[in-house]
Structure 1
Amino acid sequence: MRERITFIQKLGDSLEPSALTVDSRSGTINGPEIRAVREDRLTLAHPELPHELQTLTAGARDLHIRWVSTDAYGVVSPLLARLPPGFHLFYAPARAGADDLSSNELCLALGDIFGGISCTSLTESFTSLGDDSFQYYQGLDSLSQFIRYAKHRLCSPTDTSCSTRLDALSGAGSLDISWEAARNLLQITALWPYERQQIHATAQPPRRTEVGILSTDKPKTLEAHEIGISGLLTVLGQDSKPSPTMFTFPSRHRDAESAFSAGFLNPTGLHPTLQLRLTSTHPPPFSPSGDNNDDNDYTTAACHPYAYLTLPRGIFADKYQLSDPLFLASKNLSTLRHTTQPVDLEGPEYVLPQWGSAILLQLADPSLVPSLSSGSEWTAEIPLHLRYLAPSAGAGGYSAVSMPYPAVFWACEPGEDERESAAEKFPPMNPFEKTHLGYDELFAAGTVFWHVEPQPAVTASSPSLVNEVRVPVLDLDRAEWVGAGTTAAVVIGFAWVVWRLAGVWKSGGGNVVGETREAKQKKTQ
């Protein structure tokens, strides 16, 4: 079992070694409060896992759980990879064509660990990603159930520090749990936003604990596809003082140095439009120096903006509507790059078993829109559609559909003749690399992602990265009047028709009909 605790500051920030107190006997490190992102990673071998986690991973070739907070939070390089808020699961069974038994056990275990997870099996709840890989998504606002579970399973009654650290997960920005059968290792990674962090850590033998206080750096030898890091490293219980370090590594995830907000246009109706508002029309800096020159690995012609949306069951996108180039251009959209299949365009929400759908949309390049001034705000509009929702009681005839913010980024793909060399530049040696994000595998190997930071709209009442739409539904409290009203309307309508026919008959309509018949008989004669 290994543990890594990392504090990462912004470029230019640093901490003197004298500001840290390291006690090799007690295995502790203490220091001042600094502004940084904190990332804790715990690595466990399969025999070290609790029984439920062994069951969770037994039938999996790959299992990646990504939870993202619904609250807006800041990050720093190289911890920039983003996903829409909520609970994401990417799962590949150990054997191709596996039945639903293992996935059923997986869903039951996830319900025990995270609470409120409503998946049942691969065929009913998941969507396919190809290559015998599957995806599941669900809105999950809190890690409270996970914290309770972890305290019960991982902490001894006398280990108060374990409970304290788990309680701190309530303020985390993201939590990742990744299992790969090829490595026979489970990694649990928690990330706390860029804010004031107190430097303090204690080793828990026999676990090896390494603590790093780092910041981004730009050494002269830095290449275009690399990120530099420098700072202090300490192995608790082993080192008596921190050791200076500096290293570089290739990184696929970069900072686009811009932000976006998302919100539905009013009135929403049953066909709401999600508007994305980007703070800048400038493309990202395609080199660490910020200069777009001919020596870069990628050019602006190979880089395009994208939006990756996870749409819960109650809302969907129509791929046929998003295949019209003229319609897309009018919305500042370019291409529908990917959509999960199948997507039922007619079924109500309460009869569909799958979690929903995901789409990847290529946006129009704002730098190529001549009407926009340099640096101005830019918008794109994504048309969506609501499903009929189940009737509800006590809701006043309305229900809410919650939709998380999308992930917005620029993707720089290498050309056909450059893909092999580009992929070689990103071997699996990045200590902060994050893969299996749902959209990264939809691009060629060697693609670089420049992430746009999500921010709530200025008019938003809370920092939540979730939008809601009110949908009219049948109110069960008033449903009894629907049947009575419908019956009354039918009876009144039928009586009106009979009354009108009777009126025509009384006014001589019957004689007219008889005369018309006699006229027809004379013509035939």
Structure 2
Amino acid sequence: MKQRITYVVQNPEEFSPEQLVVNNEGDFGPSFTLKGVHAAKEHRITLSLDELPKELSKVFQQWHELHIRWASPKPYTATPPFTSRVSPGLHVFFTPLDTTPENALCETLRSFVPGDLTNDERPKCSSTNDTSIKLPILSERFSMSASSQYYAYLESLNYFIGRFRESFCRKRMQCYENLRQFSSALYIDIDYDTISRTVVLTAGWPRATGAIEDGWDETITLPSEDATVEIGVLSHEPNSDPEDIQFGGFLTVLGQDERPKATRFQTPTRHYPLLQSSSTATLNPHPLTFTTSFNQPTGLHPTLTLTFPSQHLTPPNPSCKLHTHLTLPSALFIDAYQFSDALFLASKNLKSLRSLAGATDLEAPNWVVQQWGSAALFQLALPPLHHASSNTQGTWNSSIPLHLRYLPASAASHTSVPVPWPVVFWACRAEEGAKQSSNPFDRMHLGYEGLFGPKTRFMHVEPSGASGHIEGAKSDGLVEWIEVPVLDTRWSGWVEGGTVGMVVLAFLGLCWVLFGKTDGRREVEREKKKQ
């Protein structure tokens, strides 16, 4: 087992090396202690299949590659290089083997995911082919990316971690301790491919857990006598090359080094933060943020609105185009035909619908849709230069019309549908795109990289984490909830009885009209004969 723990200091001017202590003579072996360090943290564990329990090893060996991404709905500010994002919820990107059973994905999900995952009696999963969506790959560079995607909104991993601990940790204390720590992470990645035959577990914390003002106060020890743990305490430094990211700080290998060693290095990066230029060494986040909301009342045709401060909505460089990537549950769908009209796109401040994959049937109710939902990529229009320069307080809205499917009846008049906030980023041209794979911190398999060319850098726009400016909007962090009217089963008997009654009355009325007129005509004919 290999472990790599990286801390990226958020304010280098407040950090001192005295906050780091290495103790090689402790009662429990060597240890590394941090005292009040304000930093983002990433903990990566690499395991071979032989180091996993046999039952868990068999689960991974069913796939050619498997990439799990989970993100919390809690808003946070990303610290480079941990900049890339996915929409809140559970994303599974995978490529099955020829021998992978059709029910492999669904059985695994039902084992580790609670039954009310999608506000239904069970996770929306029938089989690998029917439930997943095929990922469109437009770039040859990503031709080896996973072929399929599964998504479901999952607010917390507590149930998942509890089931995993019961099934596989058993009496392994280190397993218990790692899972306890990971339960507070705001994003978790699990990666496996059949070539390396290794499982990489990565957890991220944008800030210290507990009281924010206290920073990280923790001690790291070796899991076993023959193990090593790589630890880095770094800070992001300004760099003249716009395509590289540079760090300085301290590195140590617990179990080998007696004290942290100073280091400085730079690496190309695929995902880069938006930063505000500064005359000092401090790197300030760019003021451009966005919020997500739905026009109220939503009705059966809700409109998702992305709101930006217009004065900050300028491209980082001329090659950059603003995009948003949506992940929609099956209860919602996009009508692609709407976005083929240039005038319609302009009225919504959109440039184009770049990609749409998944459940796109315009007529099907939700209970007959087998796929988990759909994913869409839009290019957004920007405000005119005179609009951005003259309006210092205004906002710029891009609207995406959606449509609701008919949902199953329930014992309530309405049901809630979660809609995760999309990912918003500038897609920019990179001259050194081929070198980006050398970055040890970059994340791949996020669902949208393959929709761009091989020389693309993604500069992410931070979500603001609040949508309360829209009256009546219901928001839970980075997730919006839509109240959808459904057939209330508590009143369904009255509806059925009323429907039958109306049909009977209509039938009797029709009979009266038909036979009543016939009798009247016969009476008239008789009178004529008498005359």
User: Could you say which TM-score interval applies, normalised by the shorter chain?
Assistant: 0.7 to 0.9
CA distance in 2, matches of 1:63, 1:506: 77
1:264 is matched with which residue: 294, 298, 318?
A: 294
Query: What is the match of residue 293 of structure 1?
Result: none
Moved more, 47-56 or 475-484: 47-56
Please show how residues 202-281 of structure 1 align to structure 2 within 5 Å. 202-205=221-224, 206-219=226-239, 222-256=240-274, 257=286, 258-281=288-311
1:62 is matched with which residue: 58, 62, 65?
A: 65
| Matched AA of 1:8 | V
- Aligned 8 A contact 1:52 1:109 in 2: no
- Aligned 8 A contact 2:105 2:128 in 1: no
Cα gap change, 1:62/1:497 in structure 2, threshold over 3 Å: closer, same or farther? Answer: same
Residue 107 (structure 1) shift: 2.8
Deviations 1:382-431 (A, max 9, x none): 100000001112x1x211111111111111135xxxxxx532232x2111
Q: Does 1:120 align with 2:123?
A: no
Deviations 1:314-342 (A, max 9, x none): 11111111221110110111100000045
Query: What is the match of residue 2 of structure 2?
Result: 2
- Aligned 8 A contact 1:409 1:452 in 2: yes
CA distance in 1, matches of 2:525, 2:181: 89
Query: What is the match of residue 153 of structure 2?
Result: 139
| Matched AA of 2:153 | G
Query: What is the match of residue 181 of structure 2?
Result: 168
Query: What is the match of residue 518 of structure 1?
Result: none
SS in 2 for 1:321: helix
Cα gap change, 1:240/1:121 in structure 2, threshold over 3 Å: closer, same or farther? Answer: same
Please show how residues 207-356 of structure 1 align to structure 2 within 5 Å. 207-219=227-239, 222-256=240-274, 257=286, 258-283=288-313, 286=316, 299-300=317-318, 302-341=319-358, 343-356=360-373
CA distance in 2, matches of 1:513, 1:10: 103
Structure 1 unpaired stretches of 5+: 287-298, 415-420, 516-525
- Aligned 8 A contact 1:68 1:173 in 2: yes
CA distance in 2, matches of 1:136, 1:497: 53
- Aligned 8 A contact 1:284 1:450 in 2: no
| Matched AA of 2:373 | G
Residue 344 (structure 1) shift: 1.1
CA distance in 2, matches of 1:232, 1:312: 44
Moved more, 79-88 or 128-137: 128-137
CA distance in 2, matches of 1:37, 1:341: 35
- Aligned 8 A contact 1:315 1:386 in 2: yes
Deviations 1:250-303 (A, max 9, x none): 0111123221111110111100001111234435674xxxxxxxxxxxx42x21
Q: Does 1:385 align with 2:403?
A: yes
Q: Does 1:399 align with 2:415?
A: yes
Moved more, 493-502 or 253-262: 493-502
Residue 49 (structure 1) shift: 2.1
Query: What is the match of residue 103 of structure 2?
Result: 104
Cα gap change, 1:158/1:490 in structure 2, threshold over 3 Å: closer, same or farther? Answer: closer
Residue 124 (structure 1) shift: 1.3
Residue 13 (structure 1) shift: 4.1
Q: Does 1:424 align with 2:423?
A: no
CA distance in 2, matches of 1:157, 1:62: 29
Please show how residues 459-474 of structure 1 align to structure 2 within 5 Å. 459=469, 463-474=476-487
| Matched AA of 2:348 | K
Cα gap change, 1:246/1:376 in structure 2, threshold over 3 Å: closer, same or farther? Answer: farther
- Aligned 8 A contact 2:19 2:37 in 1: no
Cα gap change, 1:113/1:504 in structure 2, threshold over 3 Å: closer, same or farther? Answer: closer
Cα gap change, 1:479/1:187 in structure 2, threshold over 3 Å: closer, same or farther? Answer: same
Query: What is the match of residue 494 of structure 1?
Result: 507
Cα gap change, 1:431/1:512 in structure 2, threshold over 3 Å: closer, same or farther? Answer: farther
CA distance in 2, matches of 1:86, 1:514: 81
Cα gap change, 1:366/1:510 in structure 2, threshold over 3 Å: closer, same or farther? Answer: farther
SS in 1 for 2:346: helix
The two structures, once aligned, show a CA RMSD in angstroms of 2.6
| Matched AA of 1:126 | S
CA distance in 2, matches of 1:38, 1:56: 29
TM-score (norm 1): 0.86
- Aligned 8 A contact 2:19 2:36 in 1: no
Deviations 1:408-467 (A, max 9, x none): 1111135xxxxxx532232x2111010111001110012011111122214477652111
| Matched AA of 1:122 | T
| Matched AA of 1:87 | L
- Aligned 8 A contact 1:338 1:360 in 2: yes
CA distance in 2, matches of 1:19, 1:304: 42
Please show how residues 147-162 of structure 1 align to structure 2 within 5 Å. 147-152=161-166, 155=169, 157=171, 159=173, 162=175
CA distance in 2, matches of 1:269, 1:208: 57
CA distance in 2, matches of 1:433, 1:188: 14
1:47 is matched with which residue: 50, 67, 74?
A: 50
Structure 2 unpaired stretches of 5+: 116-122, 137-142, 209-214, 275-285
- Aligned 8 A contact 2:414 2:485 in 1: yes
Residue 170 (structure 1) shift: 3.0
- Aligned 8 A contact 1:4 1:210 in 2: yes
Q: Does 1:437 align with 2:446?
A: yes
Figure out how many residues of one structure are paired with residues of the other and give that number. 486
Residue 176 (structure 1) shift: 0.2
Cα gap change, 1:512/1:345 in structure 2, threshold over 3 Å: closer, same or farther? Answer: farther
SS in 1 for 2:323: strand
TM-score (norm 2): 0.85
CA distance in 1, matches of 2:454, 2:483: 41
- Aligned 8 A contact 1:6 1:39 in 2: yes
Residue 501 (structure 1) shift: 5.0
SS in 2 for 1:30: strand
SS in 2 for 1:340: strand
| Matched AA of 1:201 | I
Moved more, 454-463 or 244-253: 454-463
Query: What is the match of residue 429 of structure 2?
Result: 413
- Aligned 8 A contact 1:229 1:246 in 2: yes
Residue 104 (structure 1) shift: 1.7
Query: What is the match of residue 83 of structure 2?
Result: 80
CA distance in 2, matches of 1:71, 1:513: 85
- Aligned 8 A contact 2:30 2:221 in 1: yes
Cα gap change, 1:303/1:202 in structure 2, threshold over 3 Å: closer, same or farther? Answer: same
